Amino acid sequence: MQWDRTGVRSRCAAARRGCAAAPPLLPEDTVLITGGLDGGGLAIARRLAGAYDCNLVLTSRDAASADLRAREVGELERRGATVLALTADPGSEARMREVVEAAVDAFGAIRAVVHTVDERAVDDQGAVVRGFHAMRSALAGHTIRRVALCPADEFAAAVLGAYAVAHPSSGHEPWTVIDLADEPSRLEEGDLLDRILAADHLDHVVVASGPSGGHPAPSAVRRPAAKPGDGGQSARLPRPALATPFVEPAEGFERAVADALAAGLGLDGLGADDNFFELGGRSATAVQLAARLGDGFRLPLPATALVEHPTVRLLSARLAEMAGAEQPAP
């Protein structure tokens, strides 16, 4: 993987080339943005309003926040957009269906949807998952460009990203996960968002200035993961210093899981209590590793298992529970 000049990284060179095309947004097109009056959702709305004069359907959790942000709606309209601001609990399937119906009634077909995480829910996995499934259910039967915007909060990003990757829109447009490892304002700069929206074959991109801050270098992220037991050690990095003390994984499930996660992260080892996401793991890698572990143990491990059980010990316990009894790893 390589970073291009904007900081957008994709899984393949063909995807990066595809980013260069202009997005097919016209002034009459409609974009629905959940959480569109705050954070990354508002940054996206500003960019689309200024660049395309399109219709924007923006939701906020309560009427009070919508009233307080009336100036944002006015600014978007001055930039050229036609704005429909609606109050909606992002976790309510019924209300999100009403939002989709209102958007269609007001403007016709929706061209794209950007689903964001409510900033008040970033520490609540259940709320993040409910919000995603409510939006997914509301879009059933619609062929719409679908984008899931993961916040800079690593936990919420992992949860939303994993569920978006694990639950593609069958028969319709797949989700593109934008992993926002930078300030939301980056989405207003230049043609960064335009390039992401144009590349409709992308499934996962990272928006960041580069391999700095708390995020590992590109070479240590989304490395092709080895299958349990492969044990390849080429180009591995040492385990970084963590607040969590290193605890040697036990033989059996813990050892096999630790080896698999270490390979996926490009590290030479993991402790039993090390958190996959604190070590730089991202949602797409978590889904891939869950699938490979499930295959290796011949168990129906959910794609979101590593998000829900992010340490070697927790995931191993879940595997042992699924297997019905503790047994030697395959």
Would 326 be classed as within a structural domain?
no
- Adjacent-strand bridge partners of 147: 114, 176
Q: How many CA atoms lie within 13 A of 138 on its CB side?
A: 30
Are 106 and 202 found together in one domain? Answer: yes
> Taking residues 203-213, what's their average pLDDT?
60
171 and 303 housed in the same domain: no
In angstroms, the CA 122 to CA 130 distance is 12
- The HSE-up count of residue 256 (CA atoms within 13 Å, CB side) is 22
Cβ partners under 8 Å of residue 149, min gap 6:
40, 41, 44, 114, 115, 116, 117, 178, 180
Same domain (yes/no): 159, 273: no
pLDDT of 225: 37
- Quote the number of domains for the chain: 2
Structure tokens at 195: 């390039």
Question: Is 2 among the domain residues?
Answer: no
The domain in which residue 239 lies consists of: 218-321
pLDDT of residue 56: 97
Q: pLDDT tier at 196 (50, 70, 90 boundaries)? A: confident
Task: Provide the pLDDT for residue 79.
Answer: 94
Residue 1 lies in a domain: no
Question: Is there a domain that residue 250 lies in?
Answer: yes
Give yes or no for residue 307 having a pLDDT over 70.
yes
The rounded distance, in Å, linking the Cα atoms of 79 and 42 is 13
Q: Measuring CA to CA, which residue among 7, 301, 275 is closest to residue 154? A: 275
> pLDDT tens digits, residue range 109-125?
999 999 987 666 666 76
What pLDDT score was predicted for residue 227?
40
Least confident of 30-34, 99-103, 269-273, 281-285: 281-285
Interval 168-175 mean pLDDT:
62
Average confidence (pLDDT) over 2-8: 34
**Domain final residue pick, 152, 180, 207:** 207
Tell me if 180 is assigned to some domain.
yes
- pLDDT at 315 (0 to 100): 93
Instruction: Tell which of 160, 188, 207 closes a domain.
Output: 207
Cα gap 317→326, rounded to integer Å: 9
The domain that holds 136 is classified in CATH as: 3.40.50.720
Q: Kindly report the CATH number assigned to the domain that includes residue 258.
A: 1.10.1200.10
CA distance 299 to 278: 26
